[in-house]
Structure 1
Amino acid sequence: MSKKINNGPKIREEKATVSLMIQLYCRKHHNTKNELCEDCQTLADYAQTRLSFCRFGEQKTTCKKCPVHCYRKDMREKIQKIMCFSGPRMLIYHPIYALKHITKSIIK
């Protein structure tokens, strides 16, 4: 039995948001320009896969509020660090994505 891949508009937006957060973190901490460093690329790929197979699909809340933590412990620690750094800065660099994410975390 194969799992269904989630690719609805909310999941695509969530994927874009997490990608932007990882890119911002990598650029500021690893001095990258157009590409991610190897560690950040691995995390980005992992995050994209987890979102593609999220059991909640289009009804997904923000990861912080999710009752099921699907990331491995090491990846969860990395993404939490990135989100703590990039989250506040998203208002400056990507305000629309930041406001949508804030709204989503308040509503659900």
Structure 2
Amino acid sequence: MAKQFSSKRMQREARTVEVMIRRYCRDKHGSGQGELCDQCQELLDYAYLRLTHCPFQDGKTTCGKCPVHCYKPGMRQEIQEVMRYVGPKMVLTNPLMALSHALDGLRRKPVKRRSSAA
């Protein structure tokens, strides 16, 4: 993974999304092992960017259950398609990663912090 994230929790989230996008690209776009097509590379870069700017960081639930939808609509639709396709397969191909992701999804929705403007 090219990016460094603030915590093990965020590193795990980034690794999970990377594995999912790579699997999707290999199955749907015919990319080779370790390669991504331009569209999937753009989606991965965007996902990393959104994770680095997540206001909740360690306290976040999975992105799908987050109260703040920070993906722009087109990218959100793309990542949802990836998740729908790869998610069920993760139980067999990456069971520990799938379990960790499922447990992260059980976290409480984070509360948005209010700025202290008077």
Q: TM-score, normalised by structure 1?
A: 0.91
Q: What residue is the counterpart of 1:63 in the other structure? A: 63
Q: State the shift of 1:6 in Å.
A: 5.1
Q: What residue is the counterpart of 1:78 in the other structure? A: 78
Unaligned ranges ≥5, structure 2: 109-118
When the two structures are aligned, how many residues end up with a matched partner?
A: 104
Q: What residue is the counterpart of 1:32 in the other structure? A: 31
- Runs of 4+ residues over 6 Å off in structure 1: none
Q: State the shift of 1:103 in Å.
A: 1.4
Q: What residue is the counterpart of 1:51 in the other structure? A: 51
Root mean square deviation of aligned Cα: 1.3
Distance 1:95 1:36 in 2: 23
Unaligned ranges ≥5, structure 1: none
Q: What residue is the counterpart of 2:15 in the other structure? A: 16
Q: State the shift of 1:93 in Å.
A: 1.5
> Could you say which structure has the greater relative contact order, defined with CA pairs below 8 angstroms and 6 or more residues apart?
1
Q: State the shift of 1:106 in Å.
A: 2.4
> What CA deviation, in whole Å up to 9, does each residue of 1:40-96 have, x standing for no partner?
000000001100110001101111110000000000000000000010111121111
How many percent identity over aligned positions?
43
